[in-house]
């Protein structure tokens, strides 16, 4: 007699789960029913977002066709996100009210941001800056389009100051990309840029040369960098800092304060202080057999590090193949493999002007060829998971 089929539920359609679906497409398993729950049938690849913001590609060219990938894997896709999970009854509740049973489940739902305080509606006026939060990624295109529409209404000859809060790679890259697009859209407006970093240096995890190259790129883009400044709240006229200063701003890009998805707080999952799911070295959730997490939503503490891995898409990509193997193994009650994060990863930072910076440890170099290299890598990654007819 055949054992009952196991339900494997993939919660979210992030980069790591793309590898899981690819693995089941290449090697189907009749003993496992795969279900994907996601808020959309398309999933943005974070590495291509800066190119889209700079106007170098369309939104569709940054997206993985999750529906097609699920079909290839023989998986059922439900386009409704998870909003609750009961680990004792092994049930997931979706936003549409549907309840899905699981034997093994995996989280790859990304992160969001802890947003700044903003003026109350009754005190909010046209002097309040527009907030463009860089997460969650799935709805960024709506916020970006609203900003673009607002920019169309600005008077000719006016001045706009765009401030990015967050001195990591994402804050630097998105500010340079956004300024390129806004300057192209409204060349009759004087655009000024500033970047607020709570750290004493840009890219604190990078070497001196990559930091210097990034500093130079920001300077060439007309961006002023303010170190050791922590943005705290939006007020009429700009950004209020923790030191009590006002940084003048008309548009604020918020790229700092990554936190876990709010609905996870109401679960029995082990979360760290930022709301990310604690996992062990097999990517299994701590103390929860048969539950896994990968990518930004996971808090992975490597033995040789005192803090969790940074939130970067490259780690989700590296986790993907092992996650696929371990999910299959968990369904068959087989031993799990351990994941060893790379000691150094290659970061490619677009500067918005057709150039990019490559950073790996202390090594750094830049040029137009680096940007072309980055675009080829990103396009190849997206094409890997999309149907053959997709670009």
Helices (H), the chain: 15-26, 49-53, 66-72, 140-152, 169-185, 208-220, 313-331, 368-385
Phi-psi region of 97 (alpha: psi -120 to 50; beta: other; left: phi over 0): left
The confidence score (pLDDT) of residue 174 equals 94
Over range 285-301, report the average pLDDT: 95
Task: Find residue 233's DSSP bridge partners.
Answer: 117, 240
Do 150 and 264 reside in the same domain of the chain? no
Q: Is residue 194 part of a domain?
A: yes
- pLDDT of residue 390 exceeding 50: no
138 and 95 fall within a common domain? no
**CATH number, residue 145:** 3.50.50.60
- 307 pLDDT tier (thresholds 50, 70, 90): low
pLDDT single digits (tens) 121-141? 555 556 789 999 998 888 999
Residue 388 has a CB neighbour count (10 Å cut-off) of: 5
The reply to whether 132 and 235 lie within a common domain is yes
Q: Check pLDDT > 90 for residue 305.
A: no
Residue 62 in domain: no
| Domain match, 164 and 273 both | no
Residue 107 and residue 139 in one domain? no
- Sign of the alpha-carbon dihedral angle for 185, 189, 190, 196: negative
For position 126, what pLDDT does the model report? 65
Is residue 56 in a domain? no
Residue 287 has pLDDT above 90, yes or no: yes
Residue 120 has pLDDT above 80, yes or no: no
Domain-ending residue, one of 328, 345, 362: 345
**Whether residues 190 and 295 fall in one domain:** no
Q: Which range of residues forms the domain containing residue 283?
A: 6-39+80-111+260-345
Q: Enter the DSSP assignment of 123.
A: T
Q: What are the start-end ranges of the E strands in 242-341?
A: 246-248, 251-254, 258-259, 277-279, 291-293, 298-300
Is 97 inside a domain boundary? yes
User: Given 313, 328, 345, which residue is the final one in a domain?
Assistant: 345
Label residue 93 exposed, middle or buried (CB < 10 Å: 0-12, 13-18, 19+). middle
Count of CB atoms within 10 A of residue 88's CB? 6
Instruction: List, in sequence order, every residue forming a beta bridge with 28; answer none if it has no partner.
Output: none
Cβ count near 29 (within 10 Å): 17
Please indicate, yes or no, whether residues 106 and 124 belong to a single structural domain of this protein: no
Backbone conformation region of residue 367, classed left if phi is above 0, alpha if psi is from -120 to 50, else beta: left
351 domain residue, yes or no: no
Same domain as 298, residue 185 = no
If asked whether residues 269 and 231 sit together in one domain, one would say no
Mean pLDDT, the chain, whole residue set: 92
Same domain for 153 and 230, yes or no, is: yes
pLDDT interval class at 4 (50, 70, 90): confident
| 250 and 161 Cβ atoms separated by less than 8 Å | yes
Please write down the long-range contacts of 298-302, taking CB distance under 8 Å and 24 or more positions apart: 298/107, 299/271, 299/272, 299/274, 300/339, 300/341, 302/341
Q: How many CA atoms lie within 13 A of 121 on its CB side?
A: 0
Q: Cβ-count burial of 89 within 10 angstroms (0-12 exposed, 13-18 middle, 19+ buried)?
A: exposed
310-335: per-residue pLDDT in tens?
Answer: 777 788 899 999 999 999 999 999 99
pLDDT at 301: 82
- What is the spatial distance between Cα 248 and Cα 244, in angstroms, rounded to a whole number? 13
Is 245 strand, coil or helix?
coil
Residue 54 lies in a domain: no
Q: Is residue 47 assigned to a domain?
A: no
Angle of CA points 21, 25, 27, to nearest 5°? 115
Examine residue 57 and state whether it is found in any structural domain, yes or no.
no
Whether 53 and 178 have beta carbons less than 8 Å apart is answered as yes
pLDDT band at 71, cuts 50/70/90?
Answer: very high
Looking at residue 60, what is its pLDDT?
93
Instruction: Say yes or no: 173 and 237 in one domain.
Output: yes
**pLDDT tens per residue, range 135-175:** 888 899 999 999 999 999 999 999 999 999 988 888 999 99
Pair 270, 338 in one domain: yes
Does residue 259 carry a pLDDT above 70? yes
- Over residues 16-32, the pLDDT tens digits come to 999 999 999 999 999 99
pLDDT, greater one: 201 or 331: 331
The number of domains in the chain is 2
pLDDT of res. 279: 96
């Amino acid at each position: 007699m055949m054992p009952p089929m196991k339900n494997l539920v993939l919660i979210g359609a992030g980069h790591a789960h793309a590898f899981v679906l690819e693995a089941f497409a290449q090697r189907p398993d009749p003993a496992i029913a795969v279900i994907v729950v996601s808020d959309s049938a398309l999933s943005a690849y974070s590495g291509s977002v800066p190119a889209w913001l700079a106007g170098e590609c369309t939104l569709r060219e940054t997206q993985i066709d999750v529906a097609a990938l699920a079909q290839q894997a023989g998986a059922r896709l439900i386009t409704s996100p998870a909003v609750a999970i009961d680990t004792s009854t092994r049930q997931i509740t979706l936003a549409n009210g549907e309840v899905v049973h699981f034997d093994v489940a995996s989280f790859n739902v990304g992160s969001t941001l802890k947003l700044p305080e903003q003026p109350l509606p009754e005190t909010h006026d046209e002097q309040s800056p527009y907030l463009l939060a860089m997460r969650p990624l799935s709805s960024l295109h709506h916020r970006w389009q609203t900003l673009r529409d607002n920019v169309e209404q600005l008077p000719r000859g006016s001045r706009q100051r765009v401030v990015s809060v967050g001195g990591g790679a994402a804050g630097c890259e998105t500010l340079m990309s956004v300024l390129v697009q806004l300057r192209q859209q409204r060349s009759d407006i004087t655009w000024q840029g500033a970047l607020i970093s709570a750290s004493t240096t840009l890219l604190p995890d990078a070497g001196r040369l990559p930091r210097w190259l990034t500093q130079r790129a920001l300077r060439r883009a007309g961006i002023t960098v303010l170190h050791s400044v922590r943005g705290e709240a939006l007020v009429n006229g700009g950004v209020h800092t923790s030191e009590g200063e006002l940084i003048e701003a008309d548009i604020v890009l918020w790229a700092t304060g990554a936190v876990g998805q709010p609905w996870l707080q109401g679960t029995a999952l082990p979360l760290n202080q930022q709301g990310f799911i604690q996992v062990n070295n097999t990517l299994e959730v701590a103390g929860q057999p048969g539950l896994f997490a990968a990518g930004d939503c996971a808090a992975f503490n490597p033995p040789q590090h005192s803090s969790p891995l940074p939130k970067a898409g490259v780690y989700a990509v590296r986790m993907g193949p092992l996650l696929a193997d371990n999910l299959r193994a968990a369904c068959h009650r087989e031993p799990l493999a351990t994941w060893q994060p790379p000691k150094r990863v290659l970061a490619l930072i677009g500067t918005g002007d057709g150039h990019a910076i490559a950073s790996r440890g202390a090594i750094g170099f830049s040029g137009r060829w680096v940007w072309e290299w980055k675009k080829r890598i990103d396009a190849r990654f997206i094409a890997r998971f999309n149907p053959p007819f997709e670009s």
